[in-house]
Amino acid sequence: MNTYIIAEIGINFNGSLDNCYRMIDVAVDSGCNAAKFQIFSAKKLYPRSAGELDWKDDKEEYSYDIYEAVKSFELPREWVDDLISYCVEKNIDFMASVFDTEGLNEMVCKGMKVIKLSSYTITNLPLIKAAAKLNLPIIMSTGGATISETEDAVNCIQKYHNDLTLLHCSIQYPTKLGDVNMGILDTFKSVFPDVKIGYSDHTEEASNAPVQAVYLGGSVIEKHITLDKQMEGPDHFFALEPKEVKQMVDDIKEAEINYKNGNFILDKVIYGDTKKICHDHEQYLRDFCYMTLFSNKPIKKGDIIKPKDISILRAGKKNKGLEPKYLKLFETYDVVAKEEIDFEDPINWDKIL
């Protein structure tokens, strides 16, 4: 058993290409298999009118414009070729989560061999279908989703291929060990017996949860890393510093041996619940980050709403629109606006029925 370990660099490079290189080095020196970034653009992720985000960590309280903050977290596309080359030089896989079809196609054209889909795209069936049609292995996180939503996403992929790994995940940052509910991996094994499984970890502890995922048959582990937990930004304080990354990898390797020998004990607290639902601690970020349909232009009452008039975006602080799967409705039928729809308004049943 060889666990594939993904070092999630994400947005923790803080606008510095040098930090990217340094974090790739951390992943390599620790024995990780992949260094992962996130490929997104603010304009394809949130409405400009997404609102203000207020949050706090152990140090202080924060308030900032959602759209502008996300824009500041973007990985410059002109860096990607250099980062891919550096990963090749260091003999580690380059990987990137993609959030829209433009980013998906760009990364695949640049040679990315495995597609990573975030929890926040699991109901974005148009994106999942586009990814599946490329016939590349897919690793898909499932935080905040129900078993029915997960099944819809799996079925969408399996129409094209079955090279899929489902990652159990909790969209709580950090995730408390008592909220991990690693027993969901047993649910995945039962409901999706021909799909590989793994775990994307947001706990503060280096390896408690990842080790339990290995004991339940997980073959992929993903974990956020940072150069320093004290760096400015929302994803640093729960990420692992270099020494912790090495400790996690070492503990996973030891867990593989224990798993092979049957010499392990499941932690009841981390195992938790087997029900694949949106748990209470995930609901806020599900509402905030799951993608729905928004208008990208003003639409007059009585106008036919065309697919090109619609964007698939996260709601932020706005009301949510229809789930992305309903985009097909506008592709198939002449759907008429029941009332005036402003730019960046959510498109929901009240507006069309």
Structure tokens at 326: 């309903």
Structure tokens at 144: 């905040």
pLDDT tens digits for range 287-326: 999 999 999 999 999 999 999 999 999 999 999 999 999 9
φ/ψ region of 254 (left if φ > 0, alpha if ψ in -120 to 50, else beta) reads alpha
Structure tokens at 116: 């990573």
Q: Which residue has the tokens 């896989």?
A: 93
- DSSP character at residue 346: B
* Amino acid at site 311: S
Q: How confident is the model at residue 58 (pLDDT cuts 50, 70, 90)?
A: low
Structure tokens at 35: 């260094």
Q: How confident is the model at residue 59 (pLDDT cuts 50, 70, 90)?
A: low
pLDDT tens digits for range 165-222: 999 999 999 999 999 999 999 999 999 999 999 999 999 999 999 999 999 999 999 9
Region 224-248 average pLDDT: 96
Cα–Cα distances in angstroms (integers) from residue 134 to residues 44, 48, 182, in the given order: 21, 31, 31
Question: Is the CB of residue 57 less than 8 Å from the CB of residue 237?
Answer: yes
Return the closest-CA partner of residue 6 out of 23, 17, 14, 15: 23
Return the closest-CA partner of residue 216 out of 187, 243, 192, 239: 187
